[in-house]
Amino acid sequence: MNPLSAAALEARVQEHAPLVKRIAYHFMTRLPASVQVDDLIQVGLIGL
């Protein structure tokens, strides 16, 4: 795996953030109400 510079990493996160949000909202329909969409988004962004 190639190490990314901080700027490249930030660019990648910004590029994929809308996709992470869309997937998080999609999963909300399948999860209990106790799971918050913000938590799903946070985990998705950490995963990037």
Dihedral sign computed on CA atoms, order 16, 18, 19, 25:
positive
Domain-by-domain residue ranges, the chain? 17-47
- The answer on pLDDT for 1 being more than 80 is no
What pTM value is reported for the model?
0.80
pLDDT tens per residue across span 15-46: 999 999 999 999 999 999 999 999 999 999 99
Residue 3 — left, alpha, or beta (φ > 0 → left; ψ -120 to 50 → alpha)? beta
